[in-house]
Structure 1
Amino acid sequence: MHRTARTASAAVALAAMFGISACGGSGGADVAADEKQTLTVWAMGTEGEKLGDVAADYQKKNPHVTVKVTPVGWDVAHQKLVSAAAAGGLPDVMQMGSTFMGEFAELGVLEPVDTKRFEKADFFPAAWEGNVVDGTVYGVPWYVDTRVLFYRTDLAEQAGFDKAPATWAEMAELATAYQKKAGTEWGISLQPYNLDAWQNWLPFFYSSGGELIKDGKPALDGEAAVNSLAEYASYFEKGLAKKSVQPGYDVIKDFGDGSVPMFLSGPWQTTNIAENQPQLKGKWAAAPIPAGDSSTSFAGGSSLVVSKDSEHKAAASEFIAYLTDPGVQADWYERTTDLPAVAAAWNEGKLASDPDLKTFRTQMESAKAIPALAKWAEIGSKIDTAIESVTQGKADPEEAAKKMQSETVGLVE
């Protein structure tokens, strides 16, 4: 999952300026899938850099289709998509970050998914649900990520632990033991504030039984919110986590030198650790999120969507079907380390045998989706503010939860 700082309301205003209606564009006559044609595709970040090679393989098998891939940086992706939507210039196929989905579905520029061709049962449930808006599916999951616990096993042994913490109580106990018995500066790294702090807190909230949206409204002031904010804040109150970090702080260096022996993050960190902290080989592991009421993380990643105005919807569907074939998904992991959204792709090779990757699969099977909301960026910002208020001692968890609820209720339609 990726997100740039922006607001959904700004996107809607820009769309209105250019005349995009809530029901979307008119579309056009669709070119048959087997006719000669050019398919335009936008992909972001590393995916944009790597997809061209996969597209070339596809073209060898389908010479009547030219696939033109345009790489787009994540830092400009949102604005580029909004501007193209407003101008009627979206490509046939787009990579859609999970926190973008609700916004662009509301703009009416996405073609609904053919759920007879692409079936929910083939994908991780949370990855699929993140593409559903008002009962309609707008995206096909491409790759997934989720948050798990990374911890230094060698330092845990020094602290008297021979296995990963399985509960909140055990995680707090290990964080304390890291400092007192293994001599680490901190017990854990959790984000105290700044953009997307909600990504560290949400596993606590979901593991408390929380639901972001209930009966069409935010549910951020209940027992789950208060308990999870209190648990999260306790690490800062006890001096187990830094109360101040710089924007863009990369925990991996501190993980490598042992000053921070534990943190929550996503699958890209496995490669990051291997490449940038090779001395840690055999000295760390990934484990499921320690449980409150349950061990529940959230599902992120990206999906593939088709423009409502595309005249190549049939070919677009064929290309998306190719990219979500289990074999191609497994190959895509080898190229990018993106975790497959298709469950069957996990049954062979490293995806099936690597213990840390198995942890991500286990976590994804119980993960919850982030609801596809048009104003998610604004909602996330309000949650970030609530997190900061408790980690910095400006509000107690109950006060923060009430404010979080009152400030988000008007952002959910």
Structure 2
Amino acid sequence: MQQRRFIGLTAAVAALGIAAAGLTGCGSDSGSGSVTLKLVAADYDIAGGSSTKAYWHDVVAEFEKKNPGIKVDVSVLSWDVVDAKVAEMVKAGKAPDIAQIGAYSDYAAAGKLYSVDQVLSIPVQANFLAPLADAGEMKRVQYGIPFVASTRLLFYNQTLFDKAHLKPPQTWAQLEADAKALKAKGVKTPFALPLGSEEAQAETMMWMLSGGGSYVNQISGYDIDSPENIKTFNWLKKNLVEEGLTGPVAPAKLNRQAAFDAFAKGEVGMLNGHPSLMEQAKKKGVKYGMVPLPGAEGKAKASMGVADWIMGFKQNGHREEIGKFLDFTFNDQNVLAFADKYDLLPATRTASQTMQNNGKHPELKEFLAALPTSELPPVGKTSWPKVSETIKKRIGGAVSPEGDPRSVLEGIAKVATEAENAE
């Protein structure tokens, strides 16, 4: 979910080696005496500390106390290596029992994962927020379990808005007018539009949704070059980029983190952001507000949701033990402890409702409200990684001076169709 900071590769590999050794001697038949589950998890500690390890230590300690026949061996690896290391383990025939990583679809397509109904109890299955559970499906069977979630909102610099006597926009026309007013006041980047390679696929989807489109439709799969999407990028090019409202860095060369950093310096009037931007802005003393991204004529049809995933691998045959541990992991206490620690959103209904009601995170209220009706990228398609990479490389060209939105979107759509037909 791009909330990721990195630990050294040497340390990560060493941790993996120690963890892999822990697999030796584990029984392969579920329920046959003492079993040690191997869990590989991603590190969410952006300060480079050990808080993620501490979280899993507490969860495992309590679980093992209640389930004396099951041990859980946890390796926490940085986001820059964890997906690749799990892939290496699977390829080497040493799959973990459980992995908490960024994607599940390749493993599901290869038949390596338990389906969710094979491992989770019915009450736990039913407790996940619908958009997140749906995004965990491949060919109408759920394999990916949403571990934690986020949504996106429009951030605006409250101080700059007050100086220009502006209100947060509710439509594209108002957004354009606000951006022009900020430019007239000397704001360096009235609206930051990061279509660089870091996370262009996310910025693209947010704008597609605000224009009434999306990456996919319910009938024919990918719908990247739909009339709605073409109209959206024509508007962005003509009304924001060509008007000089997106700042000194061309959108195709602007990465998300650079845009966030500029916002935290007070140089950006508006941009789309996720919860981690709140903390970054606070640390720099930037006053901000947040509203849903405006649509062409009013409220967008949906906000973009994002999830990280946890999954159970079949290789070691520990279906029953995996299910017990995952059921325990998704009790409200554990879910809320993790979400609280990292300013993220719970993936379950009950924990989400508790977070909304307990008053501990008022700044997350808008994000929580957007999550139940959010739309996620088509992560259940094994073609999505290739399509996503193509978007990152090409979409910035749609709003460049010589670019044509229709041609760029049609080119990406052609790649998507070919990739989907190859599934």
TM-score class normalised by the smaller sequence: 0.7 to 0.9
Distance (whole Å) between structure 2 residues aligned to residue 223 and residue 246 of structure 1? 26
In percent, how many aligned pairs have the same letter? 22
Contact 2:209/2:303 (<8 A) preserved:
yes
Match of 1:109 among 86, 89, 112: 112
Question: How much has 1:176 moved relative to structure 2?
Answer: 1.8
Distance (whole Å) between structure 2 residues aligned to residue 187 and residue 121 of structure 1? 43
- The residue number in structure 2 matching 1:361 is 368
Q: CA RMSD in A?
A: 2.5
Question: How much has 1:28 moved relative to structure 2?
Answer: 5.1
Distance (whole Å) between structure 2 residues aligned to residue 120 and residue 232 of structure 1? 40
- The residue number in structure 1 matching 2:18 is none
Structure 1 residues 257-272: aligned runs within 5 Å: 257-272=265-280
- The residue number in structure 2 matching 1:29 is 29
* TM-score, normalisation: structure 1: 0.84
Gapped runs of 5+ residues in structure 2?
5-26, 46-51
Distance (whole Å) between structure 2 residues aligned to residue 64 and residue 28 of structure 1? 14
Contact 1:205/1:224 (<8 A) preserved:
yes
Structure 1 residues 215-294: aligned runs within 5 Å: 215-233=219-237, 234-241=239-246, 242-243=249-250, 245=253, 249-274=257-282, 276-277=283-284, 279-280=285-286, 283-292=287-296, 294=300
* TM-score, normalisation: structure 2: 0.82
Match of 2:39 among 38, 41, 66: 41
Letter in 2 for 1:31: G
Structure 1 residues 6-405: aligned runs within 5 Å: 29-31=29-31, 35-46=33-44, 48-49=52-53, 50-97=55-102, 100-114=103-117, 117=122, 121-162=126-167, 164-181=168-185, 183-214=186-217, 215-233=219-237, 234-241=239-246, 242-243=249-250, 245=253, 249-274=257-282, 276-277=283-284, 279-280=285-286, 283-292=287-296, 294-348=300-354, 352-353=358-359, 354-371=361-378, 372-405=380-413
- Which one has more relative contact order, counting CA pairs under 8 Å at least 6 apart? 1
| Secondary structure of the corresponding residue to residue 39 of structure 1 | strand
| Secondary structure of the corresponding residue to residue 122 of structure 2 | coil
Distance (whole Å) between structure 1 residues aligned to residue 3 and residue 367 of structure 2? 21
For residues 34-81 of structure 1, what are the alpha-carbon distances to aligned partners after superposition, in whole Å with 9 as ceiling and x for unaligned? Answer: x53212101012275342333223333334332211012221223212
Alignment CA distance shift 1:263-1:377 (3 Å): same
- The residue number in structure 1 matching 2:24 is none
Letter in 1 for 2:138: V
Contact 1:31/1:311 (<8 A) preserved:
no
Alignment CA distance shift 1:256-1:116 (3 Å): closer
Distance (whole Å) between structure 2 residues aligned to residue 319 and residue 351 of structure 1? 27
Letter in 2 for 1:220: I
Alignment CA distance shift 1:288-1:295 (3 Å): farther
Gapped runs of 5+ residues in structure 1?
5-26
Question: How much has 1:254 moved relative to structure 2?
Answer: 2.1
Distance (whole Å) between structure 2 residues aligned to residue 324 and residue 177 of structure 1? 47
Question: How much has 1:355 moved relative to structure 2?
Answer: 3.8
Contact 2:150/2:275 (<8 A) preserved:
yes
Alignment CA distance shift 1:365-1:166 (3 Å): farther
Contact 1:43/1:69 (<8 A) preserved:
yes
Alignment CA distance shift 1:350-1:216 (3 Å): closer
Alignment CA distance shift 1:116-1:31 (3 Å): closer
Alignment CA distance shift 1:336-1:63 (3 Å): farther
Aligned pair count? 381
Contact 2:304/2:374 (<8 A) preserved:
yes
| Secondary structure of the corresponding residue to residue 268 of structure 2 | coil
Alignment CA distance shift 1:126-1:204 (3 Å): same
For residues 378-407 of structure 1, what are the alpha-carbon distances to aligned partners after superposition, in whole Å with 9 as ceiling and x for unaligned? Answer: 101222233211232232212222212122
Contact 1:196/1:381 (<8 A) preserved:
no
Distance (whole Å) between structure 1 residues aligned to residue 355 and residue 86 of structure 2? 36
Letter in 2 for 1:59: E
Alignment CA distance shift 1:197-1:374 (3 Å): same
